[in-house]
Structures are given as C-alpha cells and as structure tokens.
Amino acid sequence: MTRLCEIRVPDVGNVAEIDVVEVLIQAGDVVELEQTVATLETDKASMDLPSSAAGTIQQVYIKPGDTVSEGSLIATVLVSDAEVSVAETPAPAAVVEKAPEPVSLPVQRAPEPKAPDVLQSPEVSGEKAHASPSVRLFARELGVDVAKIKTGSGRKGRILKDDVKSFVKKVITEGIVATGAGIPSIPAVDFSPYGETEVQKLSKIKRLTGQNLSRVWLNLPMVTYHEEADITEMEAFRNALNAEKAKGELKITGLMFIIKALVAAMQEFPSFNASLSADGESLILKKYFNIGIAVDTPNGLVVPVLRNVNNKSVNELAVELAEKSEKARLGKLLPGDMQGGCMTISSLGGIGGTSFTPIVNAPEVAILGVTRAKMQPIWNGKEFLPRLMLPLDLTYDHRVIDGAEGARFMATVKYYLADIRRLLL
C-alpha cells in the first residue's frame, strides 16, 4: 500500500513572501526524511526546506524564482506503508530571523582537512558569500570556500550547487595544467607602488606553450646532461660545401649535420625514439625518425617536425627546414606540421649561449639543446690545439633513460659530429 504525502512550507514566522532560490528535487527522485528539497529565502535569511516524508517524489510544484508563503505546496511524495518515515508535523525549515547561518545544517563535523589553496580564499570569508546553507555545506564538503566563487548563476548572483561544481571542475582542469594540483599559486602583486606598468596580453601560442611546459615540468623527472662535440672538421666541410653553392642558393648550417648525427644515435639507442605509455608501464618504440625543430617566431615558440629524416639528404633537410621555419614565422604552420615528432632539437647557436636546460617536448622522452660553437684550446696529450667546440645539452625523462644511457647516447652524437663521414657507414 502507498499513500500520498505533501511537503508544504512550514511556519517561518509570519513572513508573507518567501523566494524559492533553488529546487533540489524532481519527480521520480527518492528522498529521505529531513532531506533538503529546496532552498528558500526571505529578506532576512535563507533556509533549507527539509522533506517531511521519505518516499518517491511524485510531483514538484515550485521552481526557482517563484514566491511562496506559509502552507504553499512544494511537492507530493509517494510513501509506501513499509516506510514509516513521515514526520507528524512538518519539520521546521530553518531559523529564519536574524540568523546569518540557519540551523538546518547537520551536526558539527570533526575538523575538515584543509583544501588546496586554489579552492580557499585567503582574504574573503565564505560567510559573506551569497549562498544558501545547503550550498555552503556542499561547498564545505568539497573544501571550497564559496567566497572564491564570487558570483553565482542564481537570482541576484546567488551561488548554486552547480556553481560550486563548475568551480571545482575549473580548478581541477586549469589548476593541474597551470599550477599543479595542491601547489600554492603565486599571489597577485600590485606593482603600482613601484612605478608605471602596462598589461600586454600573451599570444595564444605563448599561452598554450606555457600550459604544455608547465604540464611537462610537473609530470616528468628531467635531467640535463651537458657535453661538447669537436666540430672543427665538420665546420671545414660545411664551409667548403657552402663555397661551392651558387649565389642565392640555400646555405647549409651546422644544424643539418646535428639532425643527422642525432638520428644516427637514435637508431643505436631505441629508447630515445620512444614514448612512455599512458599507464607508465611500457615503452612505445617508434620505427620512424621524425625530428621537431624549435623555431623562434614573433608570436612565440613553435616546433615544426621534419619527417623521415633518416631517408633525407642534408640538402633536402636544409630546404625543408627553411620552408617550415618561414611558414612558422608567418604563422602559417598547420597542426599536422607540428605533430608526430620523435625527439626535438632546440638550437640557440645562432644567438649565443654556453649551455641551457631545455624542457622535454612530451610525450617525447628527450630533447637536444644546442648553443654557440666556440674555438677552444684542447689538450691532445702533447699540446693544446685550437678546436671548434659545440656545446650540447641533452634533457631526458629519467623514468625512461638512465644517466649512463644518456651519457653513452651523447658520446655517440659527439662521435658522429667529430667525423661526419661515419654517418655514411
């Protein structure tokens, strides 16, 4: 046997107009006795309206924005006789007058664990936020200070449960990418006391690159290994090659040989031409050799990919890189031009530098940094000889590559660069 019970607005102390702020039930919902079914608000306070019966909601008679008064029908509940949970008299909704926090909250809990700073507001207390007790409770359970939400989507900017959910979602997705979950964010600073400033919006490339770099920084245990390669003979060969070229013909830079030497080393060390599987349990070894080249553009850093480098000549690579870096600088690269890389080279040699620590372009497992070659006195066991030394910086994902393997890999790159005829063998 079942019977129909009504949930009505109880006596809230002679208030003629009560606003319905939020309705938390719909037909078909199963409710328990005392479960909050709606949030009401008078000009003095807000209150949670508890269900006066346990059962299945048959019909809901209110919606947010409605005005009700004492005795108004809120909903009907189908109660089975097996369920004896029907309050004799409707449970009082909440303390209404002069009560900043209505009493319809459950019993006080043990101190809650501290939520991450991104969810908590250091300056503003949640008590001042425009939200009902049930929403405050919900927010507290998730460790969110409602004051951080500032404005809600309810009437007069009231914060609703959905606003709390969206806030948490936003913090989780953006927070992890931008600052890392649980990592305190850098507080905003007012620079005006120190002098004049100007706000310049970051380009889309810079914003996306920033997010990606932060993600990599937080996820990969990276090590950078520094090495120097003797490129004296390589440079002599390059100059001879360029001297043979007709006027206006594309010149070959040292980078083309570095690309070739890198791929030769990757062929000997397959773990450098790999990606870690998403579960971190296996290595995906690649049988193709695509090299990404970091290109500096007015809008930020982009990484076009040179495909199947092992099958291309130095001249072909020079032409392809010239085309792609030109496209990059004009902002004309297509997404496909930047996908499928196996390892990246970041060359600052045209600008200068003695060393730096590039960040791995995950899911690749290593990146090679190059700075400016310099003539140095090198001891050959008998005398110092002037040699052109190229500084190289290898950053690798230490989950995949061990220190000794990194050092051996760089010794191989160095071996090929010292005498590029070895690339023919």
In whole angstroms, how close is the CB of 273 to ligand CAO at the nearest point?
21
- Contacting residue, 51, 232, 346, 361, with ligand CAO by CB under 6 A: 346
Neighbours of 409 (CB within 10 A): 24
User: Residue of minimal CB distance from ligand CAO?
Assistant: 349
In whole angstroms, how close is the CB of 353 to ligand CAO at the nearest point?
8
Distance of CA 379 to the CA centre of its chain: 48
Alpha-helical (H) ranges within 245-311 are 254-268
- Residue 296 touching ligand CAO (CB under 6 A): yes
Shorter beta-carbon distance to ligand CAO: residue 107 or 240: 240
Q: Which of 39, 130, 37 has the alpha carbon at shortest distance from 87?
A: 37
Q: 306 pairs with which residues across the strands?
A: 291
Task: In whole angstroms, give the CA distance from residue 109 to residue 127.
Answer: 17
- Contacting residue, 21, 370, 394, 417, with ligand CAO by CB under 6 A: 370
Task: In whole angstroms, give the CA distance from residue 195 to residue 341.
Answer: 45
Site string for ligand CAO, 143-162 (x = CB under 6 A): --------------------
Task: In whole angstroms, give the CA distance from residue 415 to residue 70.
Answer: 88
Which range in 22-30, 45-53, 274-282, 366-374 contacts ligand CAO by CB under 6 A? 366-374
300: phi > 0 → left, psi -120 to 50 → alpha, else beta; which? left
Helix, strand or coil, per DSSP, at residue 57 = strand
- Residue 331 touching ligand CAO (CB under 6 A): no
Shorter beta-carbon distance to ligand CAO: residue 294 or 417: 294
Residues 205 to 264 in contact with ligand CAO, rule: CB under 6 A: 251, 253-255
- Residue 358 touching ligand CAO (CB under 6 A): yes
Q: Is 398 a catalytic residue?
A: yes
Task: In whole angstroms, give the CA distance from residue 377 to residue 385.
Answer: 5
User: DSSP string of 310-362?
Assistant: GGS-HHHHHHHHHHHHHHHHTT---GGGG---SEEEEE-TTT--S---PPP-T
In whole angstroms, how close is the CB of 206 to ligand CAO at the nearest point?
11
Size of residue set near ligand CAO by CB under 6 A? 20
Which range in 110-118, 217-225, 263-271, 293-301 contacts ligand CAO by CB under 6 A? 293-301
Catalytic residues: 398
Residue ranges that bind ligand CAO, judged by CB under 6 A: 251, 253-255, 293-296, 301, 325, 346-350, 358, 370, 372-373, 390
